[in-house]
A and B are shown apart, each in its own frame.
Chain A
């Protein structure tokens, strides 16, 4: 079966390209990126700020049940063109991962399908590989709460 989400990470390059086709009209796909409430739902984080405009800023935060902050990320939105593209930076706070630059391009395929092209550029090849490695060590950059679960089960 062909994978819906494709990831390209060439050796020795400091970038990652992720593409995904959605059974959703372009407008709905874009809304999932623009509406703070919806972003929070699928990213599994709290959206503290999301200024959808050129030179706007954004901030996400995930806390556990006790209110302890597990994950916090922020960035600036460089360019925001509805139903076309978002160019933004992304940085996880309190981690050695540096800031990364993201180019998100939204494309209409048919009336009911659409495509997202996400091109991420890291400062160095090492930084990129470190980020990929984070996925490897199970969980994910966003899913520090999953670690809490894993650790919880060990008790």
Chain B
């Protein structure tokens, strides 16, 4: 099995990306994650299983609850790890430039 390819398949799915984004800002239980989606709970569980299997998510036992947290190290192994972050700033700066060019012509 090509695990690396699986990682890309994992992040290609929009629901799984949304889950990653949720968990990236805060570790959460499966229930808390599922409450953010209208999708059936077993579907969310399946997504969590896939993300955990390819090690993008880690599980952490906290009392009786299992929390999911992001595995930054694994995310980093995915090609172009920093590209989305760069792209985000590029988009922002493009916007800044557009706004200020209009601002300039207004004056």
Contact = CB atoms under 8 A, between A and B. Distances in A.
Nearest to A9: B82
Most B CB contacts (10 A, CB to CB) among A28, A31, A144 go to A28
A40 B76 CA distance: 31
B22 A29 contact: no
A18 B89 contact: yes
Nearest to A7: B86
Interface size class of B (residues with CB under 8 A): 35 or more
Interface stretch (A46-54, A81-89, A131-139): A131-139
Contacts of B96: 22, 29, 32, 42
A154 B86 contact: no
A1 interface: no
Contacts of B73: 129
A137 B20 contact: yes
A11 B66 CA distance: 31
Interface string B15-56: 101101111111100000000111100000000000000000
B39 to A, nearest CB: 6
A20 B87 CA distance: 12
B101 A135 contact: no
B90 A138 contact: no
Contact of A140 (B26, B36, B88): B88
Interface of A: 3-7, 9, 18, 20, 22-25, 28-29, 31-32, 38, 41-44, 92, 94-97, 116, 126, 129-144, 147, 150-151, 153-155
